[in-house]
Amino acid sequence: MNENKEIERLRKIADKLATLDLHIKTQEEIKAEIQAMQERAKSMSKDEIEKQFDEALIQARAQAEETGITDEDIDAEIRAVRQIKSIKEVLAGYEKQYDMSTIDFFRKYISGETGDDMDFVEWASLAQMLVHLHD
């Protein structure tokens, strides 16, 4: 009975994992985004840029006050985002090493089609951590 519950729990994690964006932006994608921002900024004066920044900051602070978000909440969210990024980087390494997506690996892992190599245990654990961080 407990084994069936564990299998169902792992299947739910696999389903959730399939919905997550595991893509890590390439250096080229980041450069393209920066270039696009720079092009937009070229058409703006320094005063316009500062005004937009100030307005965005005021709006963010107002929203934080309305929702009761604290500095600690923001710090926790930043830590979670950094942890997610770090996990995605490790997952990408496993995907490249084993030429398999994380979701395909995880489905094979929970159905017993992989061994118990340390890499596989860590890969599965990180995939589960990623799902829990997104919840």
- Residue 117 maps to a domain: yes
Specify whether the backbone of 112 is left (phi greater than 0), alpha (psi in -120 to 50) or beta. Answer: left
What's the CA gap between 107 and 112, in Å, rounded? 9
pLDDT recorded at residue 56 = 80
Co-location of 114 and 91 in the same domain: yes
Co-location of 75 and 29 in the same domain: no
Domain that holds residue 32: 25-69
Closest CA to 90 of 110, 111, 119, 133: 119
- Residue 42 maps to a domain: yes
- Stretches where the chain sits below pLDDT 50 are none
Question: What does the CA dihedral 7, 11, 12, 18 come to, rounded to 10 degrees?
Answer: 160
pLDDT recorded at residue 105 = 93
Co-location of 76 and 109 in the same domain: yes
- Residue 120 maps to a domain: yes
pLDDT recorded at residue 1 = 55
pLDDT recorded at residue 42 = 80
Domain count, the chain: 2
Co-location of 43 and 79 in the same domain: no
Contact 124, 9 (CB under 8 A): no
The model's pTM: 0.64
What's the CA gap between 41 and 64, in Å, rounded? 27
pLDDT recorded at residue 55 = 85
pLDDT recorded at residue 12 = 84
- Residue 1 maps to a domain: no
